[in-house]
Amino acid sequence: MTAPTTLRVGVIGTGMIGRDHIRRMTTVLSGIAVVAVADVDPAVAERVAAEAGAVAFPDGLDLIAADSVDAVLVCSWGGTHERYVLAAIAAGKPVFCEKPLATTEKACLRIMAAEVAHGSRLVQVGYMRRYDAAYLAMKQLLESGAIGAPLMMHCAHRNAGVPAFYEPENTITDTAVHEIDMVRWMFGSEIAAVRVLRPRASRNAGDLPDPLLIVLELANGVLVDVEISVNVRYGYDIRGEILGEDGTVSLGDPGLISVRRAGRVATPVPADWRDRFGSTYDVELRAWADSVLGGGVSGGPGTWDGYAAAVVSDAAVRALRTGERIEVTLAERPGLY
Ligand code: NAD
Ligand code: ISE
């Protein structure tokens, strides 16, 4: 049998990122057809389906079971991911799940058990920074040995604002979780312990603990500090600098242009994650679709990475609540990963 040349995808969750991924799969990337969509809000699903030329399903589980769907994208709220990822694994269908894989350690372990029982990888998690040109260049430079062995990394993750549904722990589980995954990948080491410090709150913070300073201790001895700010107003600002024994490497300025005018030099700051990581998501979904069309999910962050990020997030939430240093304990890593 010849491999299909077009991947027929069903998308569950047609909110901000669901619609953005549908746009990229229908207008940017070739070889992908969005054939089905589902959302807990049927009116939104119907509208998005009509725009995309897809069929709207009343329930995501029916979408996963449909013969017309080869692979599934889960873009609904984090707490609903487990249900859909487990159903996709049971149906033997590849599933790209937006971060986080699930919102509890136990849910991630259930997904891992189901995938291990299936016997091959079906799950990729949407930790897109691993596909970002700047982070990739930083990792390549680090691995070349040019700055010597890494000692520390300083990160900042600043959002202009966040949706109204944000709860205090979302600053970690929804925002800092990107750095949690990125540093595991960057340094090839698990995170062993976490601390969270709270400076004076921003007057823009509302009820959120904002900003936060998170300290991640890696098992290989590298120390990472992460500033999380979710209401900076001025734009979306993602920073990173690694200190090595012989030098440093930093993420460059993502602005495409520099304007000199009226005695000032100005570089635009991205407005939000779509602006900063737009082309990164293109590369991420291209790689995922190619691996699925090529016969199976390979490479990219998988269930083990989603699980590890969830365990560290849980530890960080405890550190935020208690003010204590919390050690991270992971399950034994199955051979599949
Ligand atoms: P959103 O609120 O804009 O959209 C979520 C959609 O899911 C809504 O339309 C909602 O009605 C729908 N939904 C909720 N429960 C559902 C269910 N049980 N079944 C079907 N549909 C359901 O949120 P968003 O910003 O698009 O975020 C969605 C997911 O994507 C989250 O997990 C978020 O963390 C992740 N995300 C990732 C990135 C990234 O940079 N990788 C960026 C944004 C969001
Ligand atoms: C959002 O869900 C994302 O994943 C973005 O990448 C992140 O920067 C933002 O803080 C989250 O709310």
Find, among 271, 182, 199, 289, the residue nearest to 235 by Cα: 271
For ligand 2, the distance from its centroid to the CA atom of residue 200, given in whole angstroms, is: 23
For ligand 1, the distance from its centroid to the CA atom of residue 220, given in whole angstroms, is: 34
Phi-psi sector, 60: left (phi>0), alpha (psi -120 to 50), beta: alpha
For ligand 1, the distance from its centroid to the CA atom of residue 100, given in whole angstroms, is: 10
Q: Which of 14, 17, 57 to mutate to test the pocket of ligand 1 (most atoms within 8 A of CB)?
A: 17
Ligand 2 contact, 174 CB (< 6 A): yes
Amino acid 2: pLDDT:
57
- Return the residue whose CA atom lies nearest to atom 10 of ligand 2: 175
DSSP assignment letter at 237: E
Q: What are phi and psi of 253, to 5 degrees?
A: -75, 125
For ligand 1, the distance from its centroid to the CA atom of residue 306, given in whole angstroms, is: 16
Query: How far is residue 213's CA from residue 146's CA, in Å, rounded to a whole number?
Result: 29
Pocket of ligand 1 (CB under 6 A): 12-18, 38-41, 44, 60, 75-78, 80, 98-99, 126, 128, 174, 273
Q: Which atom of ligand 1 is nearest to the CA of 81?
A: 32
SS3 75: coil
Amino acid 3: pLDDT:
62
Query: How far is residue 6's CA from residue 15's CA, in Å, rounded to a whole number?
Result: 24
Helix locations, 29-101, DSSP H: 42-52, 60-65, 81-90
Q: What is the mean pLDDT of each run of 10 residues along the chain (337 residues)?
A: 81 98 98 98 98 97 98 97 98 98 96 98 98 98 98 98 92 97 98 98 95 98 98 98 98 91 95 97 98 91 98 98 98 97
Q: Which atom of ligand 1 is nearest to the CA of 20?
A: 26
Q: Which atom of ligand 1 is nearest to the CA of 80?
A: 18
Query: How far is residue 274's CA from residue 126's CA, in Å, rounded to a whole number?
Result: 14
Q: Which of 169, 273, 281, 284 to mutate to test the pocket of ligand 2 (most atoms within 8 A of CB)?
A: 273
By the 10 Å C-beta count (0-12 exposed, 13-18 middle, 19+ buried), 118 is classed as middle
Amino acid 298: pLDDT:
84
Find, among 40, 34, 33, the residue nearest to 60 by Cα: 40
Spatial contact of 185 and 156, defined as CB atoms under 8 Å apart: no
Q: What are phi and psi of 249, to 5 degrees?
A: -135, 135
For ligand 2, the distance from its centroid to the CA atom of residue 99, given in whole angstroms, is: 9
- Return the residue whose CA atom lies nearest to atom 11 of ligand 2: 175
Q: Which atom of ligand 2 is nearest to the CA of 170?
A: 12
Find, among 239, 105, 101, the residue nearest to 174 by Cα: 101
HSE at residue 316, side-chain half, CA atoms within 13 A, is 32
